[in-house]
Amino acid sequence: MTDSFRREGEYHEYPPPPAYPPAAAPAPPRARRPVALLAAVAIAAALIGGGTAAAVEELLVQHGTGAAGISGTNVSQSSTGTVAGVAEQVSPSVVRIDTSTGSGQGTGSGILLTADGEIVTNNHVVSGATEIQVTTSDGKKYAAKTLGTDPAKDLALIKLQGASGLKAAKLGNSDNLRVGDQVVAIGSPDRLTGTVTSGIVSALNRDVSVPKSEEQQTPQRRQGGGGWPFSYDGQQFNGGTGKNTTSYKAIQTDASLNPGNSGGALVNMNGEIVGMPSAIYSPSADSAGAGSVGLGFAIPVNTIKGELSSLRQGGTGTDNGTGNSNGTGADSGGDSGLNSF
């Protein structure tokens, strides 16, 4: 037998262990961060939350996924649709109207229709006036004369003397109004020129009746600014309206209106005139207690637009003078006092 055969009891010795530990098995590869997904989420968040393009770009560049040479810009938020934006846009188109009559002084508001000073207002603001003075939003004062009146619609058109470069208002469409729409009122309550209040359209197509006759107004309303008498749903408010009245389908609003807002602007959030404040409800017939309780009424602008052509031709109750009516006392459309509501 050869030595290649192992004898009984004999064992072969294994080789000695290596001088260094065996290499560890390679670890499984680490998952790379989901950069693309992270970037997509960041972009979506920026779009939804109004983040800037610059911030998104910085995130992409940090992870090596952004395109070089692209820069973002900050875009400031527009004031369109805010009360402040509407006030800034429309206030230059709303004026204060001060009148003198044989029974006292009155104050109302008006809406500029042309750059040379054509103004629409309530008939009760200027009726019976022997002198009309208009103050624009920048404080300039102009004398004015009456071009035409329509007592049956409680509308009047006056014209400034020597005016130019004024900002005309944009007339909207009152048929598009919905209950709950936000509106802004601009006028001159108690001679506070350019006063801005806001609210909503509370109701539409309210059948409101107001007096046409100066005989139905008390002198103290002319001087003290009491509540403008009107009737609704068979009831009379702020005093009796008498028999000689005019009626219209009114916009009801809870925007704060006070004596002096008559003839001013009710504006939608696009800066368009949608109505003309003309009457308010006051819980007290006493002029000292008159004031806003969130029940105001405005003539729809579509009614106004439909009467402009007639008013430019003299309307139904004017002599084209300073403001004197050529009608009888009952048809002259008397000044509301309301001062001028």
CB-count exposure of residue 1 (10 Å: 0-12, 13-18, 19+):
exposed
Run of H or E residues at 231? strand 230-232
| Non-local CB neighbours of 340 within 8 Å, separated by 6+ positions | 97, 99, 106, 107, 108, 109, 122, 124, 125, 228, 259, 260, 262, 263
> Considering 91, 93, 103, 124, which one is annotated as catalytic?
124
Task: Mark whether 213 is an active-site residue.
Answer: no
Which pLDDT band holds residue 120 (cuts at 50, 70, 90)?
Answer: very high
For the chain, how big is the Rg over CA atoms in Å? 38
312-322 pLDDT tens trace: 999 886 544 44
| pLDDT attached to residue 74 | 37
Run of H or E residues at 337? none
| pLDDT attached to residue 312 | 95
326-336 pLDDT tens trace: 333 323 333 33
Q: Calculate mean pLDDT across residues 154-159.
A: 95
> Considering 262, 282, 287, 325, which one is annotated as catalytic?
262
35-58 pLDDT tens trace: 444 344 334 444 444 444 444 445
Q: Are 112 and 93 in contact (CB under 8 A)?
A: yes
In the structure encoding, which two tokens stand for residue 328, read together? 């009888």
Compute the distance between CA of residue 315 and CA of residue 148 in angstroms, rounded to an integer: 5
Backbone angles phi, psi at 23, to 5 degrees: -65, 135
211-269 pLDDT tens trace: 664 433 433 333 333 455 555 555 555 555 545 666 788 999 999 998 889 999 999 99
64 alpha carbon, distance to own chain's centre: 48
Compute the distance between CA of residue 148 and CA of residue 212 in angstroms, rounded to an integer: 15
> Considering 98, 150, 154, 331, which one is annotated as catalytic?
154
Q: What is the DSSP letter of 49?
A: H
| Non-local CB neighbours of 11 within 8 Å, separated by 6+ positions | none
Identity at 73, one-letter amino acid code: T
Task: Mark whether 262 is an active-site residue.
Answer: yes
Task: Mark whether 154 is an active-site residue.
Answer: yes
Residues 167, 96, 121, 253: is their CA dihedral positive or negative?
positive
16-20, 81-85, 223-227, 311-315: segment of lowest average pLDDT: 223-227
CA-nearest of 244, 252, 246, 248 to 296 is: 252
CA-nearest of 214, 247, 254, 244 to 233 is: 247
Determine what percent of the chain is predicted with pLDDT higher than 90: 44
| Non-local CB neighbours of 294 within 8 Å, separated by 6+ positions | 199, 202, 254, 256
